[in-house]
Amino acid sequence: MKRLMQILVILLCAFMWFGQAAFAGPSVVVSEGKYVMGDLDSKKDAKALALIEAKRLALEQAGTYITSSTEVKNFQLSKDQINTLASGIMSVEVLKEDWKMSGENMVVTIQIRATIDTSNLKDKISRVQEGESTENYKEIQSQLATLQKELSELKAQRQKDAAAGAKEPPSKEMKDRHENIVKGMSALEYVEKGNGALATQRWKDALDTFNQAIALNAGIVDAYAGKAFALYRLGKPEDALVSLDKGLEIDPLSPRNLGVKALILKDRPDQVDVALGLVNKALHVVPDSQRLYRIRGEVYIKMRKPRLAQADFVTACKMGAKEACRRAEMLRDKVGPKRQPERR
């Protein structure tokens, strides 16, 4: 009986060890994306759209897998945070590309293998919670939905023309617009992946991914901010400022570019006031960004205005930024009782 109990204990320990190990390393999911070509599509466009679909399905599977992890259950992540985390720890490899006729149309099928790296998952979850990942994810999904609608409307217009008896091929203008929409969707997908890499502190991967987004669509403003933040964390602030200025040339009121630029300039004694002006401008555009309140809190620290800094950290804390809660608590003793307000 004693021997039997020893065996059961060993088996139980082994089971627990393997259960934990299941989330200690990479896991793999396989998914397929299909796209039916029309006369607006080039093979390049069709392949890109099939790949986007395959990655979307893989991301859903990765999110489901991650959600089943004990670590994630303990942290109570939102769906948007789960998706950001999944995109940041998932790498994709194309396994197969297949082209077949279906009636009068060519159909492309792309099969991919997505590897999900769940090592150090608890640390990565904490980073996702502290970042602006949810805000960025929602913005990207909104932009993707807009492009998807434009693509559907363009294809519907082409089908309407064909039904009306139009026999001429689509115009160059229509084909170019279709190609630009597809490029825009692919670029946003790279931005989403880049944001995931930032959230999990994979700075080099983030930099490479944002560069790919910019190569596809040089007008995608958030890619310049993401690239700049990666460069900043890689110890290249001057290169980061160049990237930010390019983004601000496209959109002078881009909150993300303004915020990252303020984050960099706050460390320069002669530029602290400029940093404050930038983050105030960004907050005027997006007044509910916990990330921007945290940045302004850091600017106020540099300006030796702890009371104002604490107020911003408290605001960010109420929005869910745990690190801001800790910063506010640390400043409480320094601030002391209320006195005449500091000038903003």
Of the candidates 265, 289, 291, the one whose C-alpha atom is nearest the C-alpha of residue 278 is: 265
- DSSP calls for 138-168: HHHHHHHHHHHHHHHHHHHHHHHHHHTT--S
Greatest extent of the chain over all pairs of C-alpha atoms, in Å: 86
Answer yes or no: is 3 within a domain: no
Cα dist from 128 to 75, 137, 146, whole Å: 11, 11, 26
Let me know if residue 204 belongs to a domain.
no
Q: Residue 93 corresponds to which tokens in the numbers above?
A: 């490899």
Neighbouring-strand partners of residue 279: none
The secondary structure of residue 170, as a DSSP letter, is P
Query: In this structure, is residue 269 part of a structural domain?
Result: yes
For 92, counting Cβ atoms within 10 Å of its Cβ (0-12 exposed, 13-18 middle, 19+ buried), the class is middle
- 115, two tokens: 């590897």
Asked if residue 29 belongs to a domain, the reply is no
CATH of the domain at 254: 1.25.40.10
Is there a domain that residue 181 lies in? Answer: no
Q: What pLDDT is stored for residue 72 in this prediction?
A: 62
Per DSSP, the residues of 32-62 read EEEEE--TT--HHHHHHHHHHHHHHHHHHHH
Q: What is the dihedral of CA 247, 252, 255, 259, to 10 degrees?
A: 70
What pLDDT score does 14 carry? 39
Do residues 196 and 227 lie in contact, with contact meaning Cβ atoms separated by under 8 Å?
no
Rg of the chain in Å (alpha carbons): 24
The three-point CA angle 142-214-179 to 5° equals: 70
Number of H helices, E strands in the chain: 15, 3
Q: Are 155 and 147 in contact (CB under 8 A)?
A: no
Rounded distance between C-alpha atoms, residue 283 and residue 280, angstroms: 5
Is residue 245 situated within a structural domain?
Answer: yes
Q: What are phi and psi of 75, to 5 degrees?
A: -95, -15
In a domain, 126, yes or no: no
Domain that holds residue 248: 237-344
pLDDT in tens, the chain (344 residues): 555 455 444 444 433 333 343 344 568 889 999 999 888 888 989 999 999 899 888 888 888 877 776 556 666 677 777 777 777 778 888 999 999 988 888 999 999 998 887 776 677 776 666 656 666 777 888 888 899 899 999 988 888 877 777 678 888 888 899 999 999 999 998 998 898 888 888 899 999 999 999 999 999 999 999 999 999 999 999 999 999 999 999 999 999 999 999 999 999 999 999 999 999 999 999 999 889 999 999 999 999 999 999 999 999 999 878 888 888 998 887 776 555 555 55
Domain count, the chain: 1
Beta bridge partners of 92: 114
In a domain, 179, yes or no: no
